Amino acid sequence: MAVRINIRRIVAVTIWGMVGAGVLVLLVAAVRYRNNNTCKGFKIAITRTSGGAVSSGGASLGLFIDKKGITDLLNSAGAGRGQDKPIQSFDLRRLESALEKNVWIKKAQLFFDNNGILRVDVVEREPAARIFTTNGNSFYVDSTGVQLPLQDKVQARLPVFTGYPDPKIRLQGRDSVLTAGLLQLSNFIRQDSFWTAQVAQIDITANKTFELLPEIGIHRISFGDGSNIPQKFHRLFVFYKEVLSKTGFDKYSRIDVSYAGQVIGIKKGSEQSRYDSIQGMNNIRQLILSAQQLQLDTLRQQNTRPLEHNTMTEQNLTNYDLVPDSTNRKNN
């Protein structure tokens, strides 16, 4: 019995050895065939850091980098036009590094497919905000804080920050906390259709806090630092919906949501015309109705009343700090 078992094992090992050797031979032959083959051209695909496709296959246009620009970079790195050049002559890692030196390219991956086509997959950096510095510089930053140059051919609609205290973006050391808050605030606004439409500009104050200028209305919004962003915007939305949409914009010159659980307002004079007041109410109502992501409270709030004092007054919105989840927003 032991002899039969050993023979079976020997036969099994021999068969598997022959199969493995055959696979290895085929693999080596395929590699040699590919290396001796010639490149049949480039196929470039561009995606954004957010995951959306900018171009694929033969399409040529991206937002800030296009097929022609990538081809020029490959040519400069020694790839030539690609066609009829031996595949084994391509240093793919070096070409990837050359592409990634371009500030608009976050990541590049190159490989040859079975048809001898050089596949070039590029992830394009996507601006998240436009920055104006106190010394007059202006540039874009992406969601990770990488500084990007302005482009004449593209005018991106982004949150605009003014008064940044340094000539270049700072991710470490001085003003790094300000930068982190700026990026978080920008990312939140861009992900919400209502605030994308309503926030026209964000000023950075001397105290390195944020002050929002709305698209509709002439009031200013003191936002504080970059902490508790969803809660602040939720309180502000409730104030818009329950107060400003009913009283108009001739009552408040400033709204402060920087304090937890509170909305603070300063009443201004009624120098605004009645027509402007009515038009402002209609505009904000329309903006609220058309927003795709309404930030409504999970509970019906019945106690909200307009602020009626000329000095700083407080309205308790402690429960309004409970930001509704996405399910509640959709249902509402």
Q: What does the pLDDT average to over 194-216?
A: 94
Burial environment of residue 18 by CB neighbours within 10 A (0 to 12, 13 to 18, 19 or more): exposed
Dist. CA 122–CA 49, nearest whole Å: 10
Instruction: Answer yes or no: is pLDDT of 50 > 90.
Output: no
Tokens of 113: 């497919």
The full 3-state SS of 80-136, as one line of letters, equals CCCCCCEHHHCCHHHHHHHHHCCCCEEEEEEEECCCCCEEEEEEECCEEEEEEECCC
Residue 192 near residue 293, CB atoms below 8 Å: yes
Q: Does domain 42-124 have CATH number 3.10.20.310?
A: yes
Task: Measure CA 31 to chain center.
Answer: 41
Q: Where are the domains of the chain?
A: 42-124, 127-331
Asked if pLDDT for residue 178 goes beyond 90, the answer is yes
Question: Are 63 and 126 a contacting pair, CB within 8 Å?
Answer: yes
Does residue 202 sit in helix, strand or coil? strand
What is the C-alpha to C-alpha distance for residues 147 and 144, in angstroms, rounded to an integer?
Answer: 9
pLDDT digits (tens, 9 = 90+) for 268-281: 754 444 444 445 45
pLDDT tens-digit series, residues 7-41 = 777 766 677 777 676 666 566 555 555 556 888 88
Say which residue the tokens 């296009």 belong to. 66
What was the pLDDT predicted at 22? 67
Instruction: Decide if pLDDT at 155 tops 50.
Output: yes
pLDDT at 310 over 50: no
Q: pTM value? A: 0.71
Across the chain, mean pLDDT equals 77
- Strands 127-133 and 118-124 turn out to be unpaired
Tell me: the pLDDT tens digits for 103-145?
Answer: 999 999 999 998 889 999 999 999 999 999 999 999 999 999 9
CB atoms within 10 A of CB 77: 16
Q: Give the pLDDT mean for 180-194.
A: 95
The better pLDDT of the pair 138, 309 is held by 138
Ramachandran category for residue 248: left, alpha or beta (phi over 0 → left; psi -120 to 50 → alpha) = left
pLDDT at 291 over 60: no
State the pLDDT at residue 41.
87
